[in-house]
Amino acid sequence: MFIGHYGPALAGKTIARAVPLWVFFLAVQFVDVLWGIFVANGIEHVRIVPGFTDANPLDLYDMPITHSLPGALGWSVLAGLVWALVSPKQKRIGGIAIALAVFSHWILDLIVHVPDLELWPGGLRVGFGLWNNYPVALAVEFGVLLAGFGLYLRVTEAKGLVGRFWPWVFMALLALAEYANHTAPVPDDFTTAGYMGTITFLIIAALAAICDLTRRTR
């Protein structure tokens, strides 16, 4: 799952309006940001198996720190606590919303991944395997993204002209990113690929910040 993760990020403002959209955008990909860094540094591992799933050839056989259930829960609590400690506004509800956003990543991964998500480190692996049918997985991604987008448009309003059209441009860019991600050549160097993934998430969060600058909550 890639752009579908941003559905919960866009929905975040319905729970905590003080949390900037870019924070929610980083939160929902937090475990994948870490995964990119860990894979690049040989801490977690992935291998290419041609035809592994219909959506991609990634055999994600070792990612206990970022994508096990306790791992995902731990990062969720940590991210929520950081907000509660550093934010002057909506400490409690903002922290809860951010923790839920971080954990939504694991739930959505659970739907599409083949069984590679450990319920405990070294334990039973789960995943409903929607990646075995890419068109269906893609429909779910877009469905989740657009549901969040609808909620975001409802709780915010444009400050000016840019704020009126930017969210739509942003959604189109995300669709392009999904297309590029799916059609990109298979990486043979996971040091570069890991960092590139992390940088991509940072760029998308920066694009979300343009929404913060050009729109306000109602």
Between 63 and 151, CB nearer to Zn ion? 63
Q: At what angle do helices 30-40 and 21-28 cross, to 10 degrees?
A: 50
Between 77 and 153, CB nearer to Zn ion? 77
For the CB of residue 72, give the shortest distance to Zn ion in the complex, in Å: 9
Residues touching Zn ion: how many (CB under 5 A)? 2
Between 55 and 211, CB nearer to Zn ion? 55
Between 32 and 118, CB nearer to Zn ion? 32
Between 32 and 44, CB nearer to Zn ion? 32
For the CB of residue 105, give the shortest distance to Zn ion in the complex, in Å: 6
- Contact between 141 and Zn ion by CB under 5 A: the answer reads no
Q: How far out from the chain centre does Cα 206 lie?
A: 14
Of the candidates 214, 134, 202, 124, which has an alpha carbon nearest to the alpha carbon of residue 169? 214
Contact flags string 13-52 toward Zn ion, x per CB under 5 A = -------------------x--------------------
Contact flags string 161-190 toward Zn ion, x per CB under 5 A = ------------------------------
For the CB of residue 189, give the shortest distance to Zn ion in the complex, in Å: 20
What end-to-end distance do the CA atoms of the chain give, in Å? Answer: 31
Site for Zn ion, residues 60 to 119, rule: CB under 5 A: 109
- Specify the DSSP element, H or E, that contains 29: none
| CB-count burial class (<10 Å; 0-12, 13-18, 19+) for 176 | exposed
Whole-Å CA distances, 114 to 55, 122, 123, 131: 11, 16, 15, 7
- Strands 215-217 and 156-158, how do they pair? antiparallel
Question: Which residues in this chain contact Zn ion in the complex, by CB under 5 A?
Answer: 32, 109
